[in-house]
Structure 1
Amino acid sequence: MIEDLRGRVDYDETGAGSTVVLVPGSCSTGAAWRPMLAHWPCGFRCVTTSLLGYGGTAERRTAGDTDISHEAEAIETVIRRAACPVHLVGHSFGGLTALVVALRRRVPLLSLTIAEAPAAEILRPMGEYRHYLAFRNMTDSYFQAHYGGDKTAIEQMIDFYGGAGTFAGWPQRVRDYAVETTPVNLLDWASGYDFELKPALIASVKTPTLVLWGEASHPAVKRANELLAHCIPNAAIAEIAGAAHFMIATHAREISVLIAQHVARSEHPSAAELCQ
């Protein structure tokens, strides 16, 4: 745990080697990366954390101030604690936050991996209005249900990402945590929609980047991440066969290999195949 002046930030690390900072998505903690750590094919010093309002990380946002920079600042605190240049990996809203960290350039990054960021705001400037409306229609319905008293309104959001029945298929304790943290997730969506993802801004990313999405993911999510990859100079891409949004749990081995190869290419271009 980091005792920061603006509130605590989750911090845990294990292993030795190149430092990889792993940022989970909404309704998650650093524990979400355990399947990945179990399958990792190379030796890394793995640092895990939680986004604002999840796990032990204190919330810094309010309904009137959802600037995504608050999320980025917390991750930057984690990277400074790691005390070396890092390979930054973010899943879902953690991926969007990781992108913001790369754009701010306030901490040293060796590489960036974005796995299915909810980058809805890249769709509008690229003319992808149908996909943008898919995001908006889902969140409008989800918000209305929550404020109307539906305690399990977050099921709509989870099933949008993972497919019908995803939420119902989760263990009870996982569903309970998602319901408990619904107010935090609403702030996450406000932060994401307030972040103007203009192509010219994304093109300013200088960090070697890998963008991942699932073959079975929602078309709007896939398209948003395809556009991110298109706008980031020389970004590598990978579509995970058979995977949907919650791929770091369901397809941990495949993703761990891809990230290990990306880390190796970033440090030693000729060594990438050693991490097969």
Structure 2
Amino acid sequence: MDKNIASRDGTSLAYESAGRGATIVLVSGAMSTGGTVAPLAARLSERFRVVVYDRRGRGASGDAAPYAVEREVEDLAALIEAVGGEAALYGVSSGGALALRAAAGGLPVRHVAVYETPYAMSSDALEERARYTEQLTAALAEGRRGDAVELFLRLTGLGEEVIRGARQSPLWAGMESIAPSLAYDDAVMGDGSVPRELLASIRVPVLSIAGDASPAWMRGAARAIAESVPRGTYRALGGQTHMVEPDVLAPVLAEFFAR
């Protein structure tokens, strides 16, 4: 990240941009930095000006207590102002929930696209999310960052053997370093249910995407988003999972953002 701006509360946000044309800001999800969406940015920058940034509490960006979802919306507002005063947003996973909140909050946003924002689609899933929130809060309060990462990986559906292997990975230290930001993504997701009233207030076009190789509930959540916004469209990408391939996703986003 080669540039910095200050958010409303003074938090330093690191970002970079590439390409020319209409501006698109990419919003990463949990356990991610702006670098996570860099491959997608490289493909979109052939047609647009693409901005990636490290959300607060991760990467090269700063942080400030106490956390509130409103601070992250203010971060996006400051970033959009710095790059021209208007932008489209793309958010992946819980980053999609943040992008949708920003659009509902009246930020100068032209379009919003989201990929597999993981809203719960059953009462059992909502109960699981509530348990996760309780256990995550306790783990972070007690400084058990590794346990917090484990909780998140378990929530995503990874098996215990895979999680044990992850702990031995050279990437584990980096995951622990941004573990406190898991609480931020959890807050952005609210209680985990589809926020239909908030979505109904969004007036710009919204494209909600899922991979057709992802679990049925993930596709259902993406479809529910599209159905809850006044100008929503649902799209399923053939053969894709939550780890969507940039070469498959980029043309779909480019078509939508060019409208």
* Bin of the TM-score, shorter chain as denominator length: 0.7 to 0.9
Specify whether residues 171 and 109 from structure 1 end up closer, same or farther in structure 2 by C-alpha distance, changes over 3 A only. Answer: farther
CA distance in 2 between partners of 1:167 and 1:232 (Å)? 40
Structure 2 CA distance for partners of 1:201 and 1:148, relative to 1, 3 Å: closer
The match for 1:113 is 113
Sequence identity, in percent? 24
Aligned to 1:88: 89
Tell me which residue corresponds to 1:190. Answer: 187
Q: CA deviation at 1:79?
A: 0.4
Q: 1:226 to 1:45 in 2, by over 3 A?
A: same
Who is 1:179 aligned against?
Answer: 176
176-185 or 144-153, which deviates more: 144-153
Q: How does 1:68-83 map to 2 (within 5 A)?
A: 68-83=69-84
For residues 164 and 116 of structure 2, the distance between their equivalents in structure 1, rounded to whole angstroms, comes to: 18
TM-score (norm 1): 0.78
Q: Which residue of 2 aligns with 1:16?
A: 20
Corresponding residue number in structure 2 for 1:58:
62
1:221-258 per-residue CA deviation (whole Å, 9 max, x = no partner) reads: 443332222101231112233333232xxx11111111
Paired residue type of 1:26: A
The DSSP-based 3-state class of the residue aligned with 1:205 is coil
- 1:161 is matched with 156
Task: Name the residue aligned to 1:264.
Answer: 258
Structure 1's 168 and 38: CA in aligned 2 closer, same or farther, altered over 3 A?
Answer: farther
Deviation digits for residues 96-115 of structure 1, max 9, x if unmatched? 1111110011x321110111
The aligned runs of 1:205-224 (5 Å cut-off) are 205-224=202-221
Taking structure 1 as reference, are residues 19 and 67 closer, same or farther at Cα in structure 2, changes over 3 Å only?
same
Residues paired across the two proteins, number: 252
| One-letter amino acid of the counterpart of residue 115, structure 1 | Y
Q: 2-side partners of 1:170 and 1:88: how far apart?
A: 33
Q: Deviations over 1:59-116 (max 9, x none)?
A: 2343xxx4311111101110000114211111122211111110011x3211101112
Partner of 2:258, secondary structure, is: helix
Cα shift at 1:191: 4.1
- Structure 2 portions without partners, runs of 5+: none
Alpha-carbon shift at residue 39 of structure 1 (Å): 3.3
Question: TM-score w.r.t. structure 2 length?
Answer: 0.83
Instruction: Tell me the CA shift for residue 261 of structure 1.
Output: 0.8
SS in 2 for 1:54: coil
Inter-CA distance 113–27: structure 2 relative to 1 (3 Å threshold): same
The amino acid that maps onto 1:100 is: R
Superposed CA RMSD in Å reads: 3.0
Q: Which amino acid aligns with 1:54?
A: R
Cα distance between partner residues in 2 of 1:221 and 1:136? 18
User: Which amino acid is 2:210 matched to?
Assistant: W
Shift in alpha-carbon separation, 1:162–1:21, aligned structure 2, 3 A: farther
